[in-house]
Amino acid sequence: MKTPRFIPFLLLALLCCIPRSVHADDVYIDEELLDAKKIQEEENLGEKSRIVRLYIFIAVRSGQGFEAYAARGDRDLDKDGKKAIEQPNNLAEYDHFAKIERDLQFDGAEHICFITALPYFETLFKKENLKDPFEKGDVLEIPAKTTAKDNNKLIGIKTLAIMSSTGANLGIERYIAFYNKSTVTENKPVLDKDGKPVKDEAGKDKVEQISKVVISSYGLIEITMVDA
Protein backbone atom coordinates (compact mmCIF):
# COMPACT_ATOMS: atom_id res chain seq x y z
CA MET A 1 0.00 0.00 0.00
CA LYS A 2 2.92 2.35 -0.51
CA THR A 3 1.14 4.57 -2.98
CA PRO A 4 2.14 8.26 -3.02
CA ARG A 5 -0.13 10.28 -0.77
CA PHE A 6 -1.98 12.22 -3.45
CA ILE A 7 -5.40 13.71 -2.81
CA PRO A 8 -7.93 16.16 -4.85
CA PHE A 9 -11.18 15.77 -6.93
CA LEU A 10 -12.13 17.07 -10.33
CA LEU A 11 -14.93 19.58 -9.65
CA LEU A 12 -16.89 18.38 -12.61
CA ALA A 13 -20.13 20.44 -12.54
CA LEU A 14 -22.11 22.54 -10.03
CA LEU A 15 -25.87 22.65 -9.55
CA CYS A 16 -29.04 24.63 -8.85
CA CYS A 17 -31.51 24.47 -5.98
CA ILE A 18 -33.61 21.27 -6.05
CA PRO A 19 -35.88 20.51 -3.09
CA ARG A 20 -34.17 17.68 -1.21
CA SER A 21 -37.40 15.72 -0.99
CA VAL A 22 -37.29 15.22 -4.78
CA HIS A 23 -34.38 12.83 -4.33
CA ALA A 24 -35.47 11.34 -1.02
CA ASP A 25 -35.68 7.76 -2.34
CA ASP A 26 -32.66 7.81 -4.64
CA VAL A 27 -29.69 5.58 -3.95
CA TYR A 28 -26.42 7.25 -4.84
CA ILE A 29 -24.04 5.23 -2.66
CA ASP A 30 -23.93 1.52 -1.86
CA GLU A 31 -23.89 1.59 1.93
CA GLU A 32 -21.52 -1.38 2.09
CA LEU A 33 -18.80 0.98 0.81
CA LEU A 34 -18.90 2.61 4.25
CA ASP A 35 -18.91 -0.65 6.21
CA ALA A 36 -15.93 -0.40 8.58
CA LYS A 37 -15.84 -4.15 9.16
CA LYS A 38 -15.70 -4.85 5.44
CA ILE A 39 -12.91 -2.32 4.95
CA GLN A 40 -10.97 -3.88 7.83
CA GLU A 41 -11.10 -7.26 6.11
CA GLU A 42 -10.20 -5.91 2.67
CA GLU A 43 -7.21 -3.94 3.97
CA ASN A 44 -6.09 -6.40 6.68
CA LEU A 45 -6.60 -3.82 9.43
CA GLY A 46 -6.86 -4.61 13.11
CA GLU A 47 -10.23 -5.29 14.70
CA LYS A 48 -9.93 -2.09 16.75
CA SER A 49 -9.40 0.15 13.73
CA ARG A 50 -12.17 2.66 13.21
CA ILE A 51 -13.33 5.37 10.85
CA VAL A 52 -12.15 8.72 12.21
CA ARG A 53 -13.15 10.83 9.21
CA LEU A 54 -15.71 10.45 6.45
CA TYR A 55 -16.19 12.98 3.65
CA ILE A 56 -18.80 12.57 0.91
CA PHE A 57 -19.37 14.66 -2.21
CA ILE A 58 -22.41 14.00 -4.41
CA ALA A 59 -23.46 15.72 -7.64
CA VAL A 60 -27.11 15.10 -8.62
CA ARG A 61 -28.35 15.81 -12.14
CA SER A 62 -30.53 18.87 -12.64
CA GLY A 63 -31.28 19.53 -16.29
CA GLN A 64 -28.00 19.83 -18.17
CA GLY A 65 -26.00 20.34 -14.98
CA PHE A 66 -25.82 19.07 -11.43
CA GLU A 67 -26.57 20.08 -7.85
CA ALA A 68 -23.54 19.69 -5.58
CA TYR A 69 -23.84 18.37 -2.02
CA ALA A 70 -21.25 17.49 0.62
CA ALA A 71 -21.38 15.89 4.06
CA ARG A 72 -19.16 14.73 6.88
CA GLY A 73 -20.04 11.39 8.40
CA ASP A 74 -20.34 12.45 12.03
CA ARG A 75 -23.10 15.06 11.53
CA ASP A 76 -26.87 14.71 11.90
CA LEU A 77 -28.20 17.77 10.08
CA ASP A 78 -31.85 16.72 10.01
CA LYS A 79 -31.83 15.81 13.73
CA ASP A 80 -33.40 12.39 13.18
CA GLY A 81 -30.96 10.60 15.46
CA LYS A 82 -28.93 9.13 12.60
CA LYS A 83 -25.65 10.51 11.28
CA ALA A 84 -24.66 10.87 7.64
CA ILE A 85 -22.50 7.73 7.82
CA GLU A 86 -25.64 5.78 8.74
CA GLN A 87 -27.78 7.21 5.92
CA PRO A 88 -25.47 8.43 3.15
CA ASN A 89 -28.31 8.56 0.61
CA ASN A 90 -30.35 11.07 2.60
CA LEU A 91 -29.58 14.49 1.12
CA ALA A 92 -31.06 16.13 4.22
CA GLU A 93 -27.74 15.22 5.87
CA TYR A 94 -25.80 17.24 3.27
CA ASP A 95 -24.94 20.86 2.64
CA HIS A 96 -26.04 21.98 -0.82
CA PHE A 97 -23.18 24.27 -1.77
CA ALA A 98 -23.05 24.84 -5.53
CA LYS A 99 -24.63 24.52 -8.94
CA ILE A 100 -22.52 22.76 -11.56
CA GLU A 101 -23.41 24.18 -14.93
CA ARG A 102 -21.30 21.74 -16.93
CA ASP A 103 -22.66 18.40 -18.08
CA LEU A 104 -20.82 15.12 -17.66
CA GLN A 105 -21.23 12.28 -20.13
CA PHE A 106 -19.17 9.24 -21.09
CA ASP A 107 -19.82 5.88 -22.70
CA GLY A 108 -18.62 2.43 -21.83
CA ALA A 109 -18.15 0.35 -18.73
CA GLU A 110 -15.00 2.13 -17.54
CA HIS A 111 -14.04 5.69 -16.68
CA ILE A 112 -11.00 7.26 -15.05
CA CYS A 113 -11.58 9.80 -12.30
CA PHE A 114 -8.80 12.31 -11.66
CA ILE A 115 -9.09 13.73 -8.14
CA THR A 116 -7.61 17.21 -7.94
CA ALA A 117 -9.61 18.63 -5.02
CA LEU A 118 -12.15 17.68 -2.37
CA PRO A 119 -15.00 20.15 -2.96
CA TYR A 120 -16.23 21.94 0.20
CA PHE A 121 -13.83 19.90 2.36
CA GLU A 122 -12.31 22.85 4.21
CA THR A 123 -15.76 24.25 5.04
CA LEU A 124 -16.95 20.92 6.46
CA PHE A 125 -13.82 20.51 8.58
CA LYS A 126 -13.28 24.16 9.46
CA LYS A 127 -13.51 23.47 13.19
CA GLU A 128 -10.58 21.04 12.92
CA ASN A 129 -8.71 23.52 10.69
CA LEU A 130 -8.15 20.82 8.07
CA LYS A 131 -6.94 21.78 4.62
CA ASP A 132 -7.93 20.16 1.34
CA PRO A 133 -5.44 17.28 1.02
CA PHE A 134 -4.98 18.20 -2.65
CA GLU A 135 -4.30 21.90 -2.16
CA LYS A 136 -0.67 21.51 -3.24
CA GLY A 137 -1.64 20.31 -6.69
CA ASP A 138 -1.47 16.54 -6.27
CA VAL A 139 -3.60 14.33 -8.50
CA LEU A 140 -5.03 10.91 -7.68
CA GLU A 141 -6.12 8.69 -10.55
CA ILE A 142 -8.90 6.20 -9.85
CA PRO A 143 -10.13 3.80 -12.57
CA ALA A 144 -13.85 3.14 -12.12
CA LYS A 145 -15.79 0.33 -13.77
CA THR A 146 -19.26 -1.15 -13.71
CA THR A 147 -20.15 -3.38 -10.79
CA ALA A 148 -21.12 -7.01 -11.04
CA LYS A 149 -24.49 -6.20 -9.49
CA ASP A 150 -25.51 -3.26 -11.69
CA ASN A 151 -24.29 -2.14 -15.11
CA ASN A 152 -25.57 1.35 -14.39
CA LYS A 153 -23.13 1.84 -11.51
CA LEU A 154 -19.40 2.47 -11.83
CA ILE A 155 -17.16 2.36 -8.79
CA GLY A 156 -13.43 2.85 -8.36
CA ILE A 157 -11.45 2.48 -5.13
CA LYS A 158 -7.90 3.42 -4.24
CA THR A 159 -6.37 3.00 -0.79
CA LEU A 160 -3.32 4.86 0.50
CA ALA A 161 -1.30 3.90 3.56
CA ILE A 162 -0.85 6.35 6.43
CA MET A 163 2.72 5.89 7.60
CA SER A 164 4.50 7.17 10.70
CA SER A 165 7.90 8.84 10.55
CA THR A 166 9.42 5.49 11.51
CA GLY A 167 7.63 3.61 8.74
CA ALA A 168 4.91 2.06 10.88
CA ASN A 169 1.49 1.63 9.28
CA LEU A 170 -0.98 3.81 11.23
CA GLY A 171 -4.02 3.27 9.06
CA ILE A 172 -5.41 4.07 5.64
CA GLU A 173 -7.00 6.74 3.51
CA ARG A 174 -9.49 5.24 1.08
CA TYR A 175 -10.83 7.17 -1.90
CA ILE A 176 -13.94 6.01 -3.74
CA ALA A 177 -15.21 7.48 -7.00
CA PHE A 178 -18.72 6.54 -8.12
CA TYR A 179 -21.00 7.21 -11.08
CA ASN A 180 -24.67 6.32 -11.52
CA LYS A 181 -26.36 6.09 -14.91
CA SER A 182 -30.05 6.21 -15.81
CA THR A 183 -32.15 6.25 -18.99
CA VAL A 184 -34.10 9.39 -19.80
CA THR A 185 -36.60 10.12 -22.59
CA GLU A 186 -36.56 13.38 -24.51
CA ASN A 187 -38.90 14.81 -27.15
CA LYS A 188 -37.07 15.70 -30.36
CA PRO A 189 -38.75 17.77 -33.12
CA VAL A 190 -39.26 15.96 -36.44
CA LEU A 191 -37.73 18.01 -39.26
CA ASP A 192 -38.11 17.76 -43.03
CA LYS A 193 -35.22 17.73 -45.51
CA ASP A 194 -35.04 21.53 -45.31
CA GLY A 195 -34.77 21.49 -41.55
CA LYS A 196 -38.30 22.77 -40.99
CA PRO A 197 -40.70 21.25 -38.41
CA VAL A 198 -43.04 18.58 -39.74
CA LYS A 199 -46.69 19.13 -38.83
CA ASP A 200 -49.17 16.49 -37.75
CA GLU A 201 -52.83 16.31 -38.85
CA ALA A 202 -53.78 18.80 -36.15
CA GLY A 203 -51.20 21.27 -37.40
CA LYS A 204 -48.88 20.82 -34.43
CA ASP A 205 -45.16 20.18 -34.68
CA LYS A 206 -44.37 16.48 -34.71
CA VAL A 207 -41.98 15.12 -32.10
CA GLU A 208 -40.35 11.78 -31.57
CA GLN A 209 -39.25 10.33 -28.28
CA ILE A 210 -35.54 9.62 -27.95
CA SER A 211 -34.15 7.55 -25.09
CA LYS A 212 -30.58 8.01 -23.93
CA VAL A 213 -28.37 7.03 -21.02
CA VAL A 214 -27.07 9.89 -18.87
CA ILE A 215 -24.98 10.27 -15.75
CA SER A 216 -27.68 10.85 -13.13
CA SER A 217 -25.24 11.38 -10.24
CA TYR A 218 -21.60 11.01 -9.38
CA GLY A 219 -19.36 11.67 -6.43
CA LEU A 220 -16.38 11.03 -4.24
CA ILE A 221 -15.89 9.52 -0.80
CA GLU A 222 -12.83 9.89 1.44
CA ILE A 223 -12.52 7.55 4.42
CA THR A 224 -9.75 7.73 7.00
CA MET A 225 -9.35 4.70 9.27
CA VAL A 226 -6.77 4.32 12.01
CA ASP A 227 -5.98 1.76 14.67
CA ALA A 228 -7.64 2.63 17.97
Q: pTM for the whole thing?
A: 0.83
| Sign of the alpha-carbon torsion through 19, 24, 26, 29 | positive
Type of residue at 134: F
| Sign of the alpha-carbon torsion through 191, 194, 197, 201 | negative
For residue 39, the SS3 value is helix
- 11-62 pLDDT tens trace: 333 333 333 334 445 899 999 999 999 999 999 998 899 999 999 999 999 9
- 166-203 pLDDT tens trace: 888 899 999 999 999 998 887 888 888 888 888 888 88
- 141-169 pLDDT tens trace: 999 999 988 999 999 999 999 988 888 88
Share of the chain above pLDDT 90, in %: 66
Whether 2 shows a pLDDT value over 50: the answer reads no
